[in-house]
Structure 1
Amino acid sequence: MAESNLGCGPLTIKYLVFIFNFIFFLSGIILISVGVVAQVFFSSYLQFFDGKFETPAIGLIILGTIILVVSFFGCCGAKKENVCMLRTFSMLMVMVLLCEIAAGITVAVMRPQVEQLVKKNMDDTMEQYGSPKSLVTKTWDDLQKNYHCCGTNNYTEWEGTTFGKNVTGVPDTCCKIISTGCGHNVFSVNKTETIFTDGCYTALNDSAMRNIGAIIGGAIALALLQMVGVWMSHCLVRAVKERYEIL
C-alpha cells in the first residue's frame, strides 16, 4: 500500500481508530465473558426464573461475537483507508447500538415482572420439593446451600409443605452444618439454632439484580464507546475522501 498522504490531524484519527478497535475487540471478549457468567447463573435457577433472563444473557454473548467481527471491519478499513469498509463499520456499529437500546428497554420493562414471577415460582416449587432426582429438589438444595437460607421468605414456610409435614422440619440443606436428617423435627422440638432462618428470595433477587446490572452496565459502557467509534470513523472517511478529491 502506498504511503498515506493524510494530514497530521486525520492521520491521528486513523491511529485512534486502530486503538479504538483494539479496545472494542477487548470489550467484545468482556461482553462474552459477562454473558457466559450471567447465563450460568440464570440457568442454575431456571425453575425460578422460567428462562426470562436467559435471552438477554445469550444476547450478550451473541453481541460480543458480533463485536469481534465489527472490529475487523474497523481495523481493515482504517489500515487500507477504505471508505466502503469504514462505512460498513459505522453502519454495523449503529445497528448494534440500536439492538443494545432495544435490549436495555426490554430488560428494564421485564425486571419488576420477573421479580414477582420469581417469588411465585419459589412458593409454588416448595410444594414440589422432595424427590432426590427432581430438578426442583436439586435447585432448592443448591440455592439454600449457596446462599445460607431456608424457604422463600423464611424457614417457617416449609411447615405447610408436603415435605415439611412429613419430616416436621426443613430440608437438610437449611442446616448450618449439613448432615442426613439434620433438618428433621425442627418444628416439633424448636431447634432453630441449628438452621438458617432467613428466606432465600431476597438473596436470590439481589444476586439476580447484580447480574442484570452487569448486563446493563456493560451495554451502556459499550454504547458510549460505540458512539465515539462512529464519530471517529466518519471523521476518517471525510479525511480520506478529501485526500482523493485533492489528488
Structure 2
Amino acid sequence: MDTRLMNSRSRGLRESTAYFHLAFMFAGLSVMAMGAYTINSSTSITVSLSLLLIGGIITVISFIGCFGAHLEHTGFLRTYSSATTIFLIIQIALVGIIYCHRSQIDYYASSLWDFFNDNDIRFLVDFEQAFHCCGYGSINDRAVPSTCALSLDVDSGCKDTLVLLVGTWSEWLIGGLVVLLALQVNIFIYIIKKRL
C-alpha cells in the first residue's frame, strides 16, 4: 500500500479522534459551568457538586485524549488509555454489583433517601418535583415536605414512579449502556493496537 495513502488515513483518523475529544472537552466544560453556576443557588448542593465532578472528569480525560491524538504524544496516550481502562473496569464492576445485589436495591434506595433527608433535603424536594412524586414508598412515607402530595397533586411515592419509569425505558437504558461500553472498549482496543 502506498505510504502517502497510509499517512493520509492516519492523519484523518488522528484528526477525527482529536475533534471528537475536543467536542467532549467543551461538553465537560459546559457541565462544569452549570455546576459552578448552581452552587450558590436554590439547587441542591449534591446536584451542583455532582455536575462539577462529572464535568471535571470529562474535561480532563477529553483534554488528554484530544492533545494525545493530535500531537501523537505517547505520555498523553498512555495516560488516556490508563484512565479509560480504569473507568471501564469501574463501570463493568458497578453493573456487576448492581446485578448481584438487585434484590437489595429497595433497601439501598431507602437508606439513600434517609441519607438525603438528613444531609441535603433540597435534593429530595427537587427529586420529587422532577419526577412528580411524593415520599419514598408512598405519599405518607418520609415525604419532603409532608404536604408535597397536596402541592404537587400526586398520589404515588417516588419508588413506584421510578420503577414504572425504568420499566418503560428499560430497553433504551440497557441499549445505551451497551453502546457506551462498546464504544469505550473499541477506543481502548484502538489505542492498545496503536501503542503496539
TM-score tier by shorter-chain length is 0.5 to 0.7
Q: Check conservation: 1:21, 1:74, Cα contact below 8 A.
A: yes
Larger Rg over CA atoms: 1
Name stretches of at least 5 consecutive residues in structure 2 with no aligned partner: none
SS of match in other structure, 1:155? coil
Shift of 1:198: 0.6
Shift of 1:96: 2.2
Shift of 1:225: 3.1
Quote the Cα distance in structure 2 between the aligned partners of 1:35 and 1:91: 25
Quote the Cα distance in structure 1 between the aligned partners of 2:75 and 2:184: 18
Shift of 1:18: 1.6
Alignment of 1:198 with 2:156, yes or no, is: yes
How is 1:12-31 mapped onto 2 (pairs within 5 angstroms)?
A: 12-30=9-27
Higher relative contact order (CA 8 A, sep 6+): 1
- Structure 1 75/121 Cα, relative in aligned 2: closer, same or farther at 3 Å? closer
How is 1:103-182 mapped onto 2 (pairs within 5 angstroms)?
A: 103-111=90-98, 112=101, 116-122=107-113, 135-136=120-121, 138-157=122-141, 171-175=146-150, 177=151
1:193-238 CA deviation, whole Å, 9 max, x = no partner? xx4111012445758x99x97788656534423433554x459xxx
- Structure 1 10/89 Cα, relative in aligned 2: closer, same or farther at 3 Å? farther
1:31-60 CA deviation, whole Å, 9 max, x = no partner? 56578889x8xx9495xxxxxxx59x8366
Structure with the larger helix share: 2
- Structure 1 154/94 Cα, relative in aligned 2: closer, same or farther at 3 Å? same
Q: Tell me the amino acid that sits aligned with residue 157 of structure 2.
A: G
Equivalenced residue count is 179
Alignment-derived partner of residue 82 in structure 1: none
Normalised by the length of structure 2, the TM-score is 0.61
Normalised by the length of structure 1, the TM-score is 0.51
Alignment-derived partner of residue 64 in structure 2: 69
Q: Check conservation: 1:144, 1:174, Cα contact below 8 A.
A: no
- Structure 1 197/36 Cα, relative in aligned 2: closer, same or farther at 3 Å? farther
Quote the Cα distance in structure 2 between the aligned partners of 1:197 and 1:45: 28
Q: Check conservation: 1:104, 1:216, Cα contact below 8 A.
A: no
Shift of 1:68: 1.0
Alignment of 1:228 with 2:186, yes or no, is: no
